[in-house]
Chains A and B, each alone.
Chain A
Amino acid sequence: MANVGPKYWRSLDELADTAEFREWVGREFPNGASEMSDPVTRRNFVKIMSASFLLAGLGVSSTGCRRPVENIYPFAKMPMDYVHGLPQYFATAMPTRNTAQPLIVKSSDGRPTKVEGNGDLPGFNGGTDPFAQATVLELYDPDRALHCALNGAQKHRDEALDALVSLAQSLGDGTGLAILAGQSSSPSRERLQKAITQKLPKSQWFVYEPVDLSIAAQAASQGVGRNVTPVCNLDQAKVILSLDCDFIGTEENAFHNISKFAKGRHLDGPESEMSRLYAVESLMTLTGVNADHRLRVPPSAVVPILARLSSLLGGEATSGATQEYDNWLTPCAADLKANAGKCVVLAGHRLPVEAHACVGAINQQLGAIGSIIQFLDFAPAEGKPIADLAAALNKGEVQTLVILGGNPAYNAPADLHWKEAQAKAKTVVRLGYYADETSWDPATHPTTQWDLAQAHFLESWGDARTADGTIVPIQPLIDPIFGGITDLEVLAILAGEQKTKPYDVARETFRGVGGDTEDAWRKFLHDGFLAGSAAKVVDVKWNGTPGNLPAGSAAPTGQKMDVVFYRDMKMDDGRHNNNGWLQELPDPITKLTWDNAVVLSPNTAQALGVYTTQLNQNQKFFYYKVEVKLGDATITGPAWIQPGMADNTIGLALGYGRTKTGRVGAGTGFNAYELRTSSAMHYASGATITKTDDRSYELATTQSHWSMEGRPAVREANLDQYRKHPDFADEMDLEVPKIDGEVRPAYPNPLDKTKLHGLHQWGMAIDLNRCVGCSACMVACQSENNIPIVGKEMVGKSREMHWIRIDRYYSAPLEKGVDPEFAPHDPQVVVQPMLCQHCEAAPCENVCPVNATSHDDEGLNVMVYNRCVGTRYCSNNCPYKVRRFNFFDYNRRPLNHLYKSPLVTTTDGEWELMRWLKNPDRGNLPDDQWQMMRLVKNPDVTVRMRGVMEKCSFCLQRIEQAKIAAKVRARDSGDIRLTEKAGTIPKTACQQACPAEAIVFGDTSDPDSTVNKRKSQERNYTVLSFLFTRPRLTYLARVRNPNPEMPDYKAHPVPYTTEQWEKVSEPGAAGSLPGKGGV
């Protein structure tokens, strides 16, 4: 750590340079806590005594409530706007491929700790995706590139920059210079790119994204004849047809799509309208989960379906149409036609540009262009494809190769043999966040390779554009921890700019777009966006014709299967591989953690003979490894049976199987890029798959049972049934048993009377009709509440620590002759966020022998960590099973050492007991990990030790902060009540991150609060209400909006789960269900 630079970290403020300041931020209790100055203090005495106890074999003493040694160093000058203990918030943005997520980042004593969406931007609601939520962990990743290096030898950043300057001076007219970059929406980069092209006219600019999501923009630009970016106002669409377009999950700006889609699905009451979603897809995706009708087809059938759709809609006949799916497509097309002007067809990024052109023509014909689809007057910056670069490298035309970000050695198409190609350049300058596959490799390397450590976006200055083209600032919340360099800096040097500091570059660019005044710049940074900079909507028509669609390949068979390479919901293209929060985040569909898998449909798996471990079986999950051969390449991975997957199709998630990554990502999954060639980047056909006898591979999944077993955990009805029986959800549970003629909880709360005196009564409502299952809330909660990761082995033992989880159930139609154990082929899927329900009559409280969990007068079920001894009885008695237990010291010990007693292990070459004796507050993690890991913690939330139960607190720390702030504001007025009207009700972390606005938290005693309004809807219900635990968290039932003309509706006019519930529930145990009596 010491050799990477003089400073460990600094705040934005100049004062941060002082050692005193750093001391100060390291302390837990900044002021007010005094202690004896005598070296033999009481604390030292207690430490030694505890150690003696340990040696006497009486046990490892608790370090739970120990305070760190404090030295009081008051500020000589107080930094401006700084209040002890209060976090500060700064606006910034997370750059993504061609766009950015506007963010507000919390800074605790100079270190960014929590990322939230910036809802101040017009059109944005403050939701984010899981990547943004997890980004702080990447900032403090001890495995990131810690220093610059020349041919593997460590160099100071100044040396590296000097070398870069001399390189830039030797470039001449740019002959032999190639720059390879990822996509970017940064106006500064655009400006610098232009400058470089001007100064070095012979230089070449290449752009490579392993998962290129910009094809819709390319097609649109061709279709309308000018450079545009399409946006889709999903909230205004009544009918949406997605053609392999996972706009909720893996497409660009998914979080933004979710917010608009959820708006279109919102129900205020039975009279509300909601949109209808059709999905045609090969993988089971989140879009398919949320679809009202889903057609499962192999990827090779998508284009023929599009062709058929085009002719069904009366468009020009195109070649290659298939009539195989007509019973599904005909009513769907009729529905689209009937809703012309209010409907849209979406094509996914995996489809070829011709398909996008055809979809554009269809949309034009359906009247979607101009209303639902609009074109914005900006386009992604252009560059040549990587294949050209590889060819140029192989021809020896490239002397100097500059790689800005990305990891082509890992994710370039396999047929390019990138590693060898890259070695043919004389000089390679590579800017990378990790020392990874593309970094200097002793085996194959160019003559000179500079590896520059890249700065995290929370450490760097820059700018970007959001989905609607609004310019947003990227401003650092912390100086580069390891002296990282930004891409703007490298480009500015190459461009020979006078000012190369990223701040100056961004500032200079802003002058061009936002005016010259300092005030405008400050407002830009403060607000986090430049008001009015949204790209103009251009009123153009789609001129393109459907044209000729590429002929689809033959339907896949068991011998020649289709392959879909897909962007992983957690690793993206592999860039988040070393992020523990994302690795441990269960995939929204498979619920797999720490791995990817060879995803197969139940039929395919059975034909292959790997269907011996049923999904339903509550045994440990061991899977057959299978070998996938495509062309000459072969990969081996565990087979995962995925309901809803297309038959004879193999789904391969990208981003795993890294050969050179950090400690977290090492050994996770297999590398699907090895099969991916430049001719078949998204779909491939002709793959063969063989079963191996290796069944030793274990996959860690957080949910092992797929069926809801007819239990009404998630309640759903179709729209027409809902309209007839708006309170259907309420009728679906058992009756509460009566004791002496009255309904009484089994565990009455002793505070039932005093709770009436609480100023607020907290409650939450989750609208299952809005929730799409994206899992951003899970990471947000993890980040806010200092929830540790536990590692793959622990997840395999169901010991993951997430306070909020997304339950995902498949439901299959009840059909005779179908084995219920079998995973369904065409399931309906429901998702349900599950977290502590904050029961008023809480079963957990009654059974705790030490009063560690109890109630407060505002209705919160509070967990007192200090008091908990870990009997785990509360978890056993919790019917929702939302309590999580620290089986080991996950926060303090290396995950691969958990089972080893600390008494026999060493860390950094020192006996752990000795380390503990020297400093009990230090973890048993290697020092570099420990130092970095501490920085990511939220100082407002306790870090739990082993043996302690924990659970969702409704973000109690935020509630308390809001209350304290209200008290401070109130002064003598006594008006300390938090109200929604005044905007003082805090948002929980999950609510804040939820792009769908499905989660609403608030004061139920305020009749005007949103949460009350939601709870007063007829769809409102309580999970397991017959237990009469009276949860403060209620759900709003899900409503599907199927088309009565569709074949699946005709067979099953009731959602499958409801159908199953009818079968299981006792006659008379609940009221009549719409499907039975009413409809």
Chain B
Amino acid sequence: MADAVTSTISYPVKVTAPPGELTREPLVTPTRDIGWLSDAIAGVAEGKTPRWWWICFGISNTMLVVCWGMIFYLMSTGVGIWGLGHPVMWGWAIVNFVWWIGIGHAGTLISAILFLLRQRWRTSINRASEAMTIFAVMCAGIYPLIHIGRIWLGWWLFPIPNSNSIWPQFRSPLMWDVFAVSTYFTVSVLFWYMGLIPDLAVMRDRAKTKLRKFGYGLFALGWTGANRHWSNYEKAYLILAGLSTPLVLSVHSIVSLDFSVSQLPGWHTTIFPPYFVAGAVFSGFGMVLTLLVPLRRVLHLEDIIRVRHVELMCKVTLATGSIVGYAYAMEFFIAWYSGNPYEKFHFLSSRLADPYIFGPMFHLKPAPYWWAYFTMVSCNVLVPQLFWFKRIRTNMFIVFILSILVNIGMWFERFIIVVSSLNREFIPSNWGYYGPTWCDVLQFLGTFGLFFTFFLLFLRFIPLIAIAEVKGVTPQADPHHPLGGAKVGGTH
């Protein structure tokens, strides 16, 4: 690789290529200089709005209108418009909530944990992932609020002094959810904004209209790039990264407690917190791939979000997918090991029993949601195994398709947990079947509208890659690098 450096550009200084085993594939194509980086990234938000953006924005906005429309219909009419009933009192709303929250995991993991672990490859993808996180948590946050029966009293879940003089019940995991999600959202937004400040200053400085100058200037908080600014910024960023790190683990652990604190077979499971976190990281990376693989192409950012980034993300997906697969297997083991016939029934007869393999093997009738379980296992456990192959990891089209399968699989995981645990629990007379209505479906699509509307606006107004940070990983940024620092030929 190092040969490429010397072979394509001729410099007056004679540089000996470093030993082969120490080289790593560069994180930004080395031919791109730092000025190009600024232009390329800021240009996405500056140039003429492309037509594809308007088309996507139009579609997303229509879906957003559907989102509000469905909420309005729901509020005026009742939760009954959804497919819920006895015994399945939580359906798509909670499935979607957990799914969106899970997606919201990658951003903070990339920006905080990878930062602390000095994973420099994060710089190309952290901004977009964090934005994704924030919008995903917004989508998630809608559901617990609107799924309740009396939406207008949703604020009773917050510890606000009210006319009833009753505090919320702190023993309830739903209460913990409120705190976990709102803290996560707040810290994620702060962290994201914090990292944005230098880039907003870049945008301000590059702005050609007064309005943009004012707007970016307002949010750039007077950033000048002074050493003291940088010094303070780096410290603050490190502190926020430290603060965010436990949140990555806490949010989904606590969401998982919604289920494991209950006593339903299939919900009452101690493995849930780590299993949910792994699943969340898995689905988060799946979603990052779904977003960035096409974006890097459409926005011509292949030099910054390189195949290597995609490969690395595929590896994380593979690792977390395997953890999730292990958790699925453990659930069966524990159901057997517990000796509890209710647990055993649940995992054997309500999950595993399909009409083709396991059902006949154990003489079981197909579980009502066997298709969901098998979609889940195929998408979450089997599909990521393909990422063992470099050829697949580097084929952007296949990665894109597989990342979508991961998203689908994770949605079904939540569906399986929420619905199939509820539909056949302790007393057989209660058993029932749940199916969504068109309102459930449109509400889900509606939140995609919300997500993509925000994401598209983000693309058009905010640098989608951290300009300042990505420059730091270029060879030129390293003073010890032959090309770095203020040596001759170093360019700024």
Interaction A to B = yes
- Residues in chain A within 8 A of chain B (CB atoms): 57-62, 64, 616-620, 703-705, 707-711, 713, 734, 746, 794, 797-800, 805, 807-809, 820-821, 832, 834, 843, 846-851, 866-873, 875-877, 879-881, 884-889, 898-903, 945-949, 1023-1024, 1027, 1064-1066, 1068-1069
Q: How far is the CB of A436 from chain B (nearest CB, A)?
A: 32
Q: What are 23 inter-chain pairs, A to B, with CB distance below 8 A?
A: A58-B152, A619-B433, A620-B435, A709-B345, A709-B428, A797-B84, A798-B86, A846-B261, A847-B173, A849-B172, A850-B156, A868-B149, A869-B156, A869-B157, A873-B174, A873-B262, A876-B87, A885-B149, A887-B79, A898-B77, A902-B76, A903-B76, A947-B151
Q: Besides A705-B429, A797-B85, 11 other CB < 8 A contacts?
A: A61-B152, A617-B368, A618-B432, A846-B261, A869-B156, A879-B263, A880-B430, A886-B149, A898-B77, A947-B150, A947-B151
Tell me, yes or no, whether B274 is within 8 Å of chain A by CB: no
Tell me, yes or no, whether B292 is within 8 Å of chain A by CB: no
Tell me, yes or no, whether B413 is within 8 Å of chain A by CB: no
Evaluate contact between A901 and B153: CB separation under 8 angstroms. no
Evaluate contact between B429 and A703: CB separation under 8 angstroms. yes
Which residues from chain A contact B342 at a C-beta distance below 8 Å? Answer: 711
Q: How far is the CB of A829 from chain B (nearest CB, A)?
A: 13
Tell me, yes or no, whether B24 is within 8 Å of chain A by CB: no
Evaluate contact between A898 and B78: CB separation under 8 angstroms. yes
Of the residues B151, B153, B168, B365, contact of A821 by C-beta under 8 Å: B365
Q: Indicate the size class of the contact surface on chain B.
A: 35 or more
Evaluate contact between A947 and B78: CB separation under 8 angstroms. yes
CB-based nearest A residue for B174: A849
Contact A881 to B87, CB < 8 A, known contacts A620-B435, A876-B422: yes
Complex Cα–Cα for A378 and B261 (A) = 65
CB-based nearest A residue for B262: A877
Complex Cα–Cα for A59 and B342 (A) = 42
Contact A881 to B427, CB < 8 A, known contacts A850-B156, A902-B77: yes
Evaluate contact between A834 and B429: CB separation under 8 angstroms. yes
Which residues from chain B contact A1069 at a C-beta distance below 8 Å? Answer: 339, 341
Q: How far is the CB of A815 from chain B (nearest CB, A)?
A: 15
Which residues from chain A contact B362 at a C-beta distance below 8 Å? Answer: none
Of the residues A61, A800, A879, A1066, contact of B427 by C-beta under 8 Å: A879
Q: B223-258 CB contact bits vs A (8 Å, 1 = yes)?
A: 000000000000000000000000000000000001
B residues 42-86 with Cβ under 8 Å of A? 72-73, 75-81, 83-86
CB-based nearest A residue for B87: A881
Evaluate contact between B340 and A711: CB separation under 8 angstroms. no
Contact A843 to B423, CB < 8 A, known contacts A619-B433, A850-B169, A869-B148: no
Of the residues B75, B258, B341, B433, contact of A704 by C-beta under 8 Å: B433
Evaluate contact between B78 and A868: CB separation under 8 angstroms. no
Q: How far is the CB of B360 from chain A (nearest CB, A)?
A: 13
Which residues from chain B contact A898 at a C-beta distance below 8 Å? Answer: 77-78, 80
Q: How far is the CB of B160 from chain A (nearest CB, A)?
A: 12
CB-based nearest B residue for A946: B78
Sorted nearest first, the 6 A-B pairs with minimum C-beta distance are A870-B149, A947-B149, A887-B80, A807-B429, A872-B89, A798-B85
Which residues from chain A contact B429 at a C-beta distance below 8 Å? Answer: 703, 705, 713, 805, 807-809, 832, 834
Tell me, yes or no, whether B154 is within 8 Å of chain A by CB: yes
Which residues from chain B contact A870 at a C-beta distance below 8 Å? Answer: 79, 148-150
- Residues in chain B within 8 A of chain A (CB atoms): 72-73, 75-81, 83-87, 89-90, 147-154, 156-157, 164, 166-169, 171-175, 178, 258, 261-264, 339-342, 345, 365, 368, 422-433, 435
Contact A1024 to B426, CB < 8 A, known contacts A798-B87, A881-B86: yes
Complex Cα–Cα for A352 and B398 (A) = 78
CB-based nearest B residue for A877: B262
Q: How far is the CB of B47 from chain A (nearest CB, A)?
A: 37
Which residues from chain A contact B75 at a C-beta distance below 8 Å? Answer: 59-60
Evaluate contact between B149 and A946: CB separation under 8 angstroms. yes
Which residues from chain B contact A1068 at a C-beta distance below 8 Å? Answer: 339
Complex Cα–Cα for A445 and B76 (A) = 48
Q: How far is the CB of B265 from chain A (nearest CB, A)?
A: 10
Q: How far is the CB of A1078 from chain B (nearest CB, A)?
A: 22
Evaluate contact between A887 and B78: CB separation under 8 angstroms. yes
CB-based nearest B residue for A1023: B427
Q: How far is the CB of B412 from chain A (nearest CB, A)?
A: 18
Complex Cα–Cα for A1044 and B156 (A) = 62
Which residues from chain B contact A900 at a C-beta distance below 8 Å? Answer: 77
Q: How far is the CB of A707 from chain B (nearest CB, A)?
A: 6
Q: How far is the CB of A231 from chain B (nearest CB, A)?
A: 36
Evaluate contact between B81 and A618: CB separation under 8 angstroms. no
Evaluate contact between A1066 and B263: CB separation under 8 angstroms. no
Evaluate contact between A843 and B262: CB separation under 8 angstroms. yes
Provide the main secondary structure of the chain B interface: loop
Complex Cα–Cα for A61 and B166 (A) = 21
For A709, A821, A868, A871, the residue with the greatest tally of chain B CB atoms inside 10 Å of its CB is A871
Evaluate contact between B172 and A848: CB separation under 8 angstroms. yes
Complex Cα–Cα for A711 and B424 (A) = 13
Which residues from chain A contact B152 at a C-beta distance below 8 Å? Answer: 58-62
Evaluate contact between B149 and A846: CB separation under 8 angstroms. no
Q: How far is the CB of A58 from chain B (nearest CB, A)?
A: 8
Which residues from chain A contact B156 at a C-beta distance below 8 Å? Answer: 850, 867, 869
Of the residues B84, B153, B171, B424, contact of A846 by C-beta under 8 Å: B171
CB-based nearest A residue for B150: A947
Complex Cα–Cα for A60 and B81 (A) = 16
Evaluate contact between A618 and B150: CB separation under 8 angstroms. no
Which residues from chain B contact A834 at a C-beta distance below 8 Å? Answer: 427, 429
CB-based nearest A residue for B178: A849
CB-based nearest A residue for B430: A881
Q: How far is the CB of A894 from chain B (nearest CB, A)?
A: 13
Complex Cα–Cα for A1023 and B430 (A) = 14
Evaluate contact between A876 and B262: CB separation under 8 angstroms. yes
CB-based nearest B residue for A819: B365
Which residues from chain B contact A850 at a C-beta distance below 8 Å? Answer: 156-157, 166, 168-169
Complex Cα–Cα for A898 and B78 (A) = 9
Q: How far is the CB of A986 from chain B (nearest CB, A)?
A: 28
Of the residues B81, B261, B341, contact of A1064 by C-beta under 8 Å: B341
Which residues from chain A contact B173 at a C-beta distance below 8 Å? Answer: 847
Which residues from chain A contact B341 at a C-beta distance below 8 Å? Answer: 710-711, 734, 1064-1066, 1069
Q: How far is the CB of B215 from chain A (nearest CB, A)?
A: 28
Evaluate contact between B178 and A707: CB separation under 8 angstroms. no
Which residues from chain A contact B365 at a C-beta distance below 8 Å? Answer: 616, 820-821
Which residues from chain B contact A805 at a C-beta distance below 8 Å? Answer: 429
Of the residues B77, B83, B171, contact of A899 by C-beta under 8 Å: B77
Which residues from chain B contact A1023 at a C-beta distance below 8 Å? Answer: 427
Which residues from chain B contact A849 at a C-beta distance below 8 Å? Answer: 157, 168-169, 172, 174-175, 178
Evaluate contact between B148 and A947: CB separation under 8 angstroms. yes
Which residues from chain A contact B178 at a C-beta distance below 8 Å? Answer: 849
Complex Cα–Cα for A62 and B75 (A) = 11
Q: How far is the CB of A41 from chain B (nearest CB, A)?
A: 19
Complex Cα–Cα for A621 and B75 (A) = 29
CB-based nearest B residue for A1028: B263
Contact A877 to B153, CB < 8 A, known contacts A704-B431, A1066-B339: no
Contact A869 to B431, CB < 8 A, known contacts A877-B263, A903-B76: no
Evaluate contact between A868 and B427: CB separation under 8 angstroms. no
Of the residues B84, B154, B428, contact of A869 by C-beta under 8 Å: B154
Which residues from chain B contact A848 at a C-beta distance below 8 Å? Answer: 169, 172
Q: How far is the CB of B167 from chain A (nearest CB, A)?
A: 8
Q: How far is the CB of A1057 from chain B (nearest CB, A)?
A: 11
Contact A867 to B263, CB < 8 A, known contacts A849-B174, A899-B77: no
Contact A618 to B368, CB < 8 A, known contacts A869-B148, A876-B422, A885-B89: yes
Complex Cα–Cα for A106 and B147 (A) = 40
Which residues from chain A contact B157 at a C-beta distance below 8 Å? Answer: 849-850, 869
Q: How far is the CB of B93 from chain A (nearest CB, A)?
A: 10
Evaluate contact between B172 and A846: CB separation under 8 angstroms. yes
Complex Cα–Cα for A821 and B151 (A) = 42
Evaluate contact between A868 and B150: CB separation under 8 angstroms. yes
